[in-house]
Structure 1
Amino acid sequence: MLNYRQLHYFWAVAKTGSVARASEQLNLTPQTISGQITLLEETYGLALFQRVGRQLELTETGRQALVYAEQMFQLGGELEAMLRAGPQEQILFRVGVADVVPKSIVYRLLAPTMEMDDTLRINCREDKLERLLADLAIQRLDLVISDSPMPSHLDIKGYSQKLGECGLSFFATPALAKRHAAPFPTCLQDAPLLIPGAETVMRSRLLRWLGEQQVQPRIVGEFDDSALMQAFGQSGSGIFVAPSVIAEEVCRQYGVTLIGQTDAVLESFYAISVERKVKHPGIVAITEGARRQLFHW
């Protein structure tokens, strides 16, 4: 079994850069720290440090071990802070949001949790899906919201619940809409179009649908961040797309015109958790709110 005290000494030396500084920080003799790290290396038959001149540097194995040690001692610090704080009246609800999910959708999905009593406190973080799922696996997150279910190639235990789906709407400033006033979707022919980036599920579905409609717009911008795409659309840079469920909100917020909609291109949203049977009150509020209020299942 891993000796966590030895690992802590290794982590301290790696962070401070020397045995001497680590010994001052831990209030131990350099010999004690060096001896314990040597025992750790001998246990696994691997070198964690190497001498380069007078400097002590991490080996490749040491660098990999440091990543895990960082996570372990960060979680340990959080645990200690929680225990010292005593009983908590609030339940912390840690939500990870894939950066490709439109912010308006995220807000409306999370809104039911804000209507609960004061026992729930939300901690919301946006990142790439795979990094969020890695944190979900080690229980640093309670839930991940994504535009796709749990990827099958990841060796992570998780369960996907479909929150809902909706069609796609197309928007343009009044001036741009006037210049491309043909019936939809013919109006998209040769029109400047802003589309979701390569990391989104929607991109390939949209391009396939455009091919089926035999229209060829001019793609002038690609965006992983939907809010940035909408900002460019608001400026008149091109026609842009958003989920139909927030069409009225997009028109009101950005002062644009709805020029067409299609249900042949569906965008789906998922809640990914480590529980097959959901028990967390925050997750229950999100799933029930999505089905009853947002997507009207």
Structure 2
Amino acid sequence: MHVTLRQLSVFEAVARRLSYTRAAGELHLSQPAVSMQVKQLEETVGLPLFEQTGKKNQLTEAGREVYQYTRAIFGMFEEMEEVLAALKGVDTGQLDIAVASTVNYFAPRLLAAFHQRYPGIDLRLDVTNRKQLMALLEANETDIVLMGHPPEKLELESEAFMENPLVVIAPPGHPLDGVPGIPLSRLQDETFVMRESGSGTRLAMERFFKEHGLELKSGMQMTRNEAIKQAVRAGMGLSVASEHTIELEVETGRLVILDVEQFPVLRKWYMVYRKGKRLSPAAVAFRDFVLAEAKNIRREAV
């Protein structure tokens, strides 16, 4: 079977985007040129690779198989480039980092320090929620993920690199503001603004209170840390948040941390990637940098 890398490259773009038009834009080709390359590949394979359902393009069963092999082929090319780059030293390379939205409050400082040490490495950052991070890990579509407690359903390598203290936050002037040693049971009388179901902070929060036999009164659910903070400031309830995400608000007096018994709850931030993944030289450099420098960068920022 005579298949060219050009055909596979064009097919991969169309399959990933499920759009001839968007693939053409990405590849800087005309749409007829993209269609011709895919058609030639289909003729070589002897099976249709796409089918149209309404106005949407979908991969056929053969298309899905070819797509998986195509990804593997180009993955091997990338690995070869990375191995050759390693022989030249860690001065160049590309690194895809995905971080939980909560991590993004300190990730820019970390990445800036890494970039200063390795200016030739091209960094790409994806900030998203826990659900999407798990999807990226499952599909092995990123080099390293920075997140809270790693999912147990996937085979992963994980290394803790920094503590992540969870605290109870309230608006200034709340009846519990300034009260020392608030009993944990007292929180049952309060309404809590919660992160969405499945978020790392919410999972840790629910696990902690369940272990202590407490059931909290849930108010609004929100998907962004900024929305949570605004809701607490507006008096819509208390919340549990990573101390790293509220530094500015506490410093400027817009939020307060309550002195609740058994708080802060100490969790950890983890660096995570798929088990068996061969890290590129750039990824190895980043892993070693984070393990060595993350705590120092954090202390400098406080």
| TM-score strictly above 0.5 | yes
Q: Per-residue displacement from partner, 1:94-152 (whole Å, max 9, x unpaired)?
A: 211134x34324345445325536444432112311232256x35xx332111123x45
TM-score (normalised: structure 1) = 0.66
Q: Show the counterpart of 2:113.
A: 112
Q: Mark the CA change 1:255 to 1:124 in structure 2 (over 3 Å): closer, same or farther.
A: same
Residues in 2 aligned to 1:241 and 1:160: alpha-carbon distance in whole angstroms: 25
8 Å Cα contact 1:23-1:33 kept in structure 2: no
Q: Per-residue displacement from partner, 1:187-210 (whole Å, max 9, x unpaired)?
A: 423212123332223324323433
The residue identity in structure 1 corresponding to 2:136 is L
Residues in 1 aligned to 2:288 and 2:98: alpha-carbon distance in whole angstroms: 16
Q: Are positions 1:94 and 2:107 aligned together?
A: no
Q: Show the counterpart of 1:84.
A: none
The residue identity in structure 2 corresponding to 1:285 is F
Q: Show the counterpart of 2:133.
A: 129
Q: Show the counterpart of 2:228.
A: 229
Q: Show the counterpart of 1:197.
A: 196
Q: Show the counterpart of 1:280.
A: 284
Q: Show the counterpart of 2:268.
A: 268
Q: Mark the CA change 1:91 to 1:147 in structure 2 (over 3 Å): closer, same or farther.
A: same
8 Å Cα contact 2:103-2:147 kept in structure 1: no
User: SS in structure 2 opposite 1:280?
Assistant: helix
The residue identity in structure 1 corresponding to 2:255 is V
Q: Per-residue displacement from partner, 1:44-78 (whole Å, max 9, x unpaired)?
A: xx5435699xx9x76632563586589689989x9
The RMSD of aligned alpha carbons is: 4.8
Q: CA deviation at 1:169?
A: 0.9
Q: Mark the CA change 1:181 to 1:228 in structure 2 (over 3 Å): closer, same or farther.
A: same
Q: Show the counterpart of 1:83.
A: none
Q: Mark the CA change 1:106 to 1:224 in structure 2 (over 3 Å): closer, same or farther.
A: farther
8 Å Cα contact 2:196-2:223 kept in structure 1: yes
Aligned length: 269
Partner residue of 1:40 out of 17, 42, 45:
45
8 Å Cα contact 2:160-2:271 kept in structure 1: yes
Residues in 2 aligned to 1:221 and 1:74: alpha-carbon distance in whole angstroms: 45
In structure 2, runs of 5+ residues without a counterpart are 22-29, 80-87
Q: CA deviation at 1:186?
A: 4.5
Farther-moved stretch of structure 1 (3-12 vs 160-169): 3-12
Residues in 1 aligned to 2:10 and 2:114: alpha-carbon distance in whole angstroms: 42
User: SS in structure 1 opposite 2:270?
Assistant: strand
Residues in 2 aligned to 1:172 and 1:2: alpha-carbon distance in whole angstroms: 66
8 Å Cα contact 1:169-1:242 kept in structure 2: yes
Identity of aligned residues (%): 16
8 Å Cα contact 1:102-1:226 kept in structure 2: no
8 Å Cα contact 2:143-2:279 kept in structure 1: no
Q: Per-residue displacement from partner, 1:8-65 (whole Å, max 9, x unpaired)?
A: 6867798549xxxx9952697xxx9757523303xxxx5435699xx9x766325635
The residue identity in structure 1 corresponding to 2:148 is D
Between structure 1 and structure 2, the one with the greater Rg is 1
Residues in 2 aligned to 1:285 and 1:164: alpha-carbon distance in whole angstroms: 13
Q: Are positions 1:163 and 2:171 aligned together?
A: no
8 Å Cα contact 2:50-2:63 kept in structure 1: no
Q: Mark the CA change 1:240 to 1:119 in structure 2 (over 3 Å): closer, same or farther.
A: same
8 Å Cα contact 2:104-2:127 kept in structure 1: no
Residues in 2 aligned to 1:286 and 1:190: alpha-carbon distance in whole angstroms: 41
8 Å Cα contact 1:112-1:286 kept in structure 2: no
Q: Mark the CA change 1:118 to 1:195 in structure 2 (over 3 Å): closer, same or farther.
A: same
8 Å Cα contact 1:10-1:37 kept in structure 2: no
